[in-house]
């Protein structure tokens, strides 16, 4: 198949959808995907891995009342698709459905918004970036004992068609670059990392400085060699712009996904219209932010990406919805139906989730904090959506003393409750930035963006080791 040929021709789609609902069905959907990936890693001053791959297939969903049938196949021929449609429809009730004619609207392909497809770039050019980053990171200090650099790109073409009259296509190109450094000293081995990832082509490297990414990773590792144990107990925390977005993604965003809401498994159930956060907090999920890691033109159910305001000046305004949950609630999808691949059913997922910037100076926020912890970069974490309780690790943090950022701190945990943290935000700066990430939920992973400006939380429990 040529790289830009239609994944499935419209007449075939019509026949497959008709077959899927022939024996009864409220809705049938075909999701086809063609994903091409390549990657390279550089470790211990040599090429460790050079990979490429391609995966094609389709998933077919049939919904009958409260029951969903799903089948997937790597065979995109009409025969293969019809077999999958029959398998998905096998759960449909017998009789009563008759023959349903499916007519699809004209195809409206969406051209890729990319200046330079990574597949057109020579492997040697990509490998040169890895070698350069390795050299720059090692030059940052003699204590840098190990450097790992990785590059990856992916092109994902999708087609979605359903008996609801949906026919949509998207062409998503993503490129990433990551540097991990290990520094060795009297305190043992310390790790620092930095990454960049955007929904763009190889022009990413006209937008970012690979040398600076390498230096940042090395600096983080080196600074931890002299780090002191983090304090323990409740202290004010200042989160640097961009780095803390993952906290709000995990601690608040997941609780605003409609599947958790309808299962009564979220602390935000029934609170639309209520004040759930500081008036300084406006939380947005926006899949239309071009270039960010969670960007797309249409979601994996063919609905256009949208900007959804979830919390407006502290007031809960809405949840995120996919087609299934929205249909049951008598409303429309918010464009948040996502899936890892054609082998998975869609579910409610975030896209680019962030707190809007404020108007304060980030340096002033630190200066007005007599004692606390400045978190320059957060690591991973976990949250209980039913209660909002969370635990997050820090990967770069410093002590704040007398309104100044002073000594680096060893990695520690932030322990708290999402809704309570939202209420305790008392200052938001104007230095908004985003950071990319991978979100896991129910065994599926999708790319997302997180972001916020520098902000202060009046009190968070620090799980440090200092007495």
Integer Cα distance of 309 and 286 in angstroms: 8
> Is residue 101 scored above 90 in pLDDT?
no
- What pLDDT does 90 receive? 84
Token pair 């985003």 in the structure block, residue: 434
User: What's the predicted TM-score (pTM) here?
Assistant: 0.93
Q: Are strands 232-239 and 144-162 parallel, antiparallel or unpaired?
A: unpaired
Task: Kindly state the tokens that stand for 47.
Answer: 């090429």
- 408-460 residue pLDDT tens: 999 999 999 999 999 999 999 999 999 999 999 999 999 999 999 999 999 99
Which residues lie closer than 8 Å to 46 by C-beta, 6 or more apart?
none
> Is residue 93 scored above 60 in pLDDT?
no
Q: What are the CA-CA distances from residue 183 to residues 137, 145, 249, 398, 464 (Å)?
A: 11, 5, 30, 18, 22
User: Would you say 24 and 94 are in contact if contact means Cβ atoms under 8 Å apart?
Assistant: yes
Integer Cα distance of 264 and 275 in angstroms: 19
Residues in a beta bridge with 171:
157
**Helix (H, G, I), strand (E, B), or coil: what is residue 254?**
helix
Q: Is 106 exposed, middle or buried (0-12, 13-18, 19+ CB in 10 A)?
A: exposed
- The phi, psi pair for 327, rounded to 5°, reads -60, -45
User: Would you say 166 and 120 are in contact if contact means Cβ atoms under 8 Å apart?
Assistant: no
Token pair 């700066």 in the structure block, residue: 429
Integer Cα distance of 360 and 354 in angstroms: 17
Mean pLDDT of the chain: 92
- What pLDDT does 112 receive? 56
- What pLDDT does 97 receive? 40
- 270-305 residue pLDDT tens: 999 999 999 999 999 999 999 999 999 999 999 999
The candidate with the shortest Cα–Cα distance to 117, out of 2, 38, 56, is 38
Angle at 182 between CA 180 and CA 183, to 5 degrees: 140
- What pLDDT does 25 receive? 81
- What pLDDT does 75 receive? 96
User: Would you say 181 and 150 are in contact if contact means Cβ atoms under 8 Å apart?
Assistant: no
**Measured in Å, how far apart are the chain's first and last C-alpha atoms?**
65
* Secondary structure letter of residue 226 according to DSSP: G
**Helix (H, G, I), strand (E, B), or coil: what is residue 22?**
coil
pLDDT higher for 26 or 464? 26
Task: Kindly state the tokens that stand for 173.
Answer: 């190109």
The candidate with the shortest Cα–Cα distance to 168, out of 109, 83, 222, is 109
* Domains with residue ranges and CATH for the chain: 10-226 (3.30.2290.10), 232-463 (no CATH)
Angle between helical axes of 123-138 and 210-223 (0-180°, round to 10): 30
- Range of lowest pLDDT (11-20, 50-59, 374-383): 374-383
**Looking at 78-205, which runs of residues are DSSP E strands?**
144-162, 167-185, 188-198
- 364-398 residue pLDDT tens: 999 999 999 999 999 888 889 889 999 999 999 99
Is residue 24 very low, low, confident or very high in pLDDT (cuts 50, 70, 90)?
confident
Q: Are strands 444-452 and 352-355 parallel, antiparallel or unpaired?
A: parallel
Residues in a beta bridge with 313:
none
Integer Cα distance of 237 and 384 in angstroms: 21
Q: What are the CA-CA distances from residue 332 to residues 191, 254, 260 (Å)?
A: 45, 19, 17
> Chain centroid to CA 6: how far?
27
Integer Cα distance of 163 and 423 in angstroms: 44
Is residue 16 very low, low, confident or very high in pLDDT (cuts 50, 70, 90)?
very high
Token pair 């081995």 in the structure block, residue: 189
């Amino acid at each position: 198949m040529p790289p830009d040929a239609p994944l499935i021709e419209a007449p075939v789609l019509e026949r497959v959808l008709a077959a899927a609902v022939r024996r009864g069905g409220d809705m049938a959907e075909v999701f086809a995907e063609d994903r091409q990936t390549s990657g390279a890693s550089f470790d211990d001053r040599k090429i460790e891995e050079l990979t490429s791959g391609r995966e094609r297939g389709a998933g077919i969903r049939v919904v009958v009342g409260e029951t969903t049938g799903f089948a997937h196949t790597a065979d995109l021929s009409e025969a293969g698709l019809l077999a999958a449609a029959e398998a998905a429809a096998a759960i449909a009730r017998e009789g009563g459905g008759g023959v349903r004619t499916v007519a699809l609207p004209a195809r409206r392909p969406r051209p890729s918004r990319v200046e330079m497809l990574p597949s057109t770039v020579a492997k040697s050019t990509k490998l040169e970036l890895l070698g350069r980053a390795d050299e720059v990171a090692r030059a940052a200090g003699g204590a840098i004992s190990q450097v790992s650099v990785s590059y990856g790109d992916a092109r994902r073409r999708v087609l979605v068609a359903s008996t609801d009259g949906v026919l949509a296509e998207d062409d998503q190109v993503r490129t990433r670059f990551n540097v991990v450094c290990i520094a060795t000293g009297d305190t043992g081995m310390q790790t620092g990392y930095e990454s960049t990832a955007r929904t763009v082509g190889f022009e990413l490297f006209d937008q970012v400085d690979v040398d600076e990414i390498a230096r940042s990773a090395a600096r983080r590792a080196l600074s931890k060699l002299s780090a002191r144990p983090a304090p323990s107990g409740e202290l004010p925390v200042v989160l640097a712009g961009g780095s803390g977005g993952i906290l709000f993604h995990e601690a608040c965003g997941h609780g605003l996904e409609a599947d958790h809401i309808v299962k009564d498994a979220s602390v935000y159930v029934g609170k639309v219209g209520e004040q759930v956060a500081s008036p300084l907090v406006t939380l947005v999920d926006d899949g239309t932010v071009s270039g960010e890691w969670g960007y797309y033109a249409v979601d994996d159910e063919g609905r256009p990406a949208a900007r959804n305001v979830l919390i407006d000046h502290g007031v809960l305004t809405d949840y995120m919805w996919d087609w299934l949950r929205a249909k049951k609630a008598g409303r429309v999808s918010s464009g948040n139906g996502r899936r890892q691949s054609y082998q998975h059913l869609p579910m409610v997922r975030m896209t680019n989730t962030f707190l809007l910037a404020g108007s304060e100076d980030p340096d002033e926020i630190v200066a007005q904090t007599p004692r606390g912890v400045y978190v320059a970069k957060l690591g991973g974490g976990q949250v209980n959506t039913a209660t909002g309780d969370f635990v997050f690790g820090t990967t770069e943090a410093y002590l704040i003393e007398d309104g100044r950022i002073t000594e680096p701190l060893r990695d520690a945990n932030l322990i708290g409750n999402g809704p309570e943290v939202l209420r305790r935000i008392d200052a938001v700066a104007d230095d908004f930035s985003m950071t990319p990430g991978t979100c896991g939920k129910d065994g599926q992973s999708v790319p997302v963006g997180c972001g916020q400006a520098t902000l202060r939380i009046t009190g968070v429990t620090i799980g440090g080791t200092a007495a």
